[in-house]
């Protein structure tokens, strides 16, 4: 067992904090980070229909884990462990975001509509329009790289910084749009939550009803299976009714559904 593993096992968080800051390599910091992530519980944060999962804060865990939660909360260990991957350039962020969003737009455009009305307000229209607008940004980024000319074949040294600025504007605008849309939608989230509760209650009631009638249903179907080959469905259902297994119409409907 390594020194830092002993500190984790003994929950000596102050000593562990000092160790990773002054004596640990990046690789060891990554191992410590992974160990703390497994140790500190993860909570779900919710607001309306939004939710995210994150590690608990120091005040949310038992006292013997508060130090570990504090190390994770500060983020310095993560920054050291991830190094260059901790803070990516805006151009890298955009290059990762763009194909993901385009893929999502294509998937949304292909889904059946859930609302009725004007076509230019449909889900498919909004998804296609978003995809079309986003498609302009790579061309703008490409235009930032001056390729040089006959007299000066060296590319413009300002090209990459300009791309970074354009990518930053794109990422900021996209993120701002998302937050703005979520802010507008908060007014309707309560209705969505209420509707979800109603549907959940309805499903639960249906499950309870099905459970209550399951035994009766099985008796009906078993008796119909015995009688139908000899009497046919209609006469078999009438016999079942006389035996107290329900009304003829209900028995026949259930039998026909069972046969499909």
The reply to whether 131 and 67 lie within a common domain is no
131-185 pLDDT per residue, tens: 999 999 998 888 877 655 555 555 555 678 888 999 999 999 999 998 988 888 8
Distance CA 142, CA 101 (A): 19
pLDDT value for 213:
65
- Domain count along the chain: 3
Domain holding 229, by residue range, is 205-259
User: How far is the C-alpha of 17 from the C-alpha of 36, rounded, in Å?
Assistant: 12
96 and 189 in a single domain? The answer is: yes
CA torsion 198-216-254-207 (nearest 10°) is 20
Mean pLDDT of the chain, nearest integer: 86
What is the model's pTM? 0.60
pLDDT digits (tens, 9 = 90+) for 196-249: 676 677 677 666 666 666 777 888 888 888 888 888 888 888 888 888 888 888
**15 and 104, same domain (yes or no):** no
Residues 62 and 16 in one domain: yes
Average pLDDT estimate for 30-58: 92
Same domain, 196 and 229: no
Q: Please state, in angstroms and rounded to a whole number, the distance separating the CA atoms of residues 129 and 121.
A: 11
């Amino acid at each position: 067992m390594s020194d830092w593993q002993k500190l984790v096992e003994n929950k000596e968080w102050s000593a562990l904090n000092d160790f990773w800051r002054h004596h640990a390599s990046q690789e060891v910091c990554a191992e410590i980070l992974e160990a703390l992530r497994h140790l500190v519980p993860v909570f779900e944060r919710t607001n309306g229909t939004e939710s995210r999962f994150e590690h608990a804060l120091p005040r949310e865990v038992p006292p013997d884990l508060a130090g570990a939660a504090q190390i994770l909360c500060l983020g310095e260990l993560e920054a050291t462990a991830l190094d260059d991957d901790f803070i990516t350039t805006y151009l890298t962020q955009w290059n990762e975001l763009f194909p993901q969003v385009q893929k999502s737009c294509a998937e949304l455009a292909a889904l059946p509509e859930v609302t009725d009305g004007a076509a230019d307000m449909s889900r498919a229209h909004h998804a296609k329009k978003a995809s079309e607008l986003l498609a302009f940004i790579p061309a703008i980024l490409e235009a930032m790289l001056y390729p040089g000319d006959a007299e000066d074949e060296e590319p413009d040294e300002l090209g990459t910084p300009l791309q970074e600025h354009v990518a930053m504007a794109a990422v900021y605008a996209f993120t701002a749009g998302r937050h703005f849309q979520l802010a507008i939608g908060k007014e309707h989230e309560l209705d969505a939550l209420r509707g979800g509760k109603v549907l959940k209650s309805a499903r639960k009631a249906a499950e309870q009803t099905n459970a209550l009638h399951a035994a009766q249903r099985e008796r009906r179907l078993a008796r119909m299976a015995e009688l139908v080959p000899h009497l046919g469905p209609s006469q078999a259902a009438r016999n079942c009714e006389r035996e107290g297994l329900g009304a003829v119409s209900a028995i026949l409907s259930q039998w026909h559904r069972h046969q499909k």
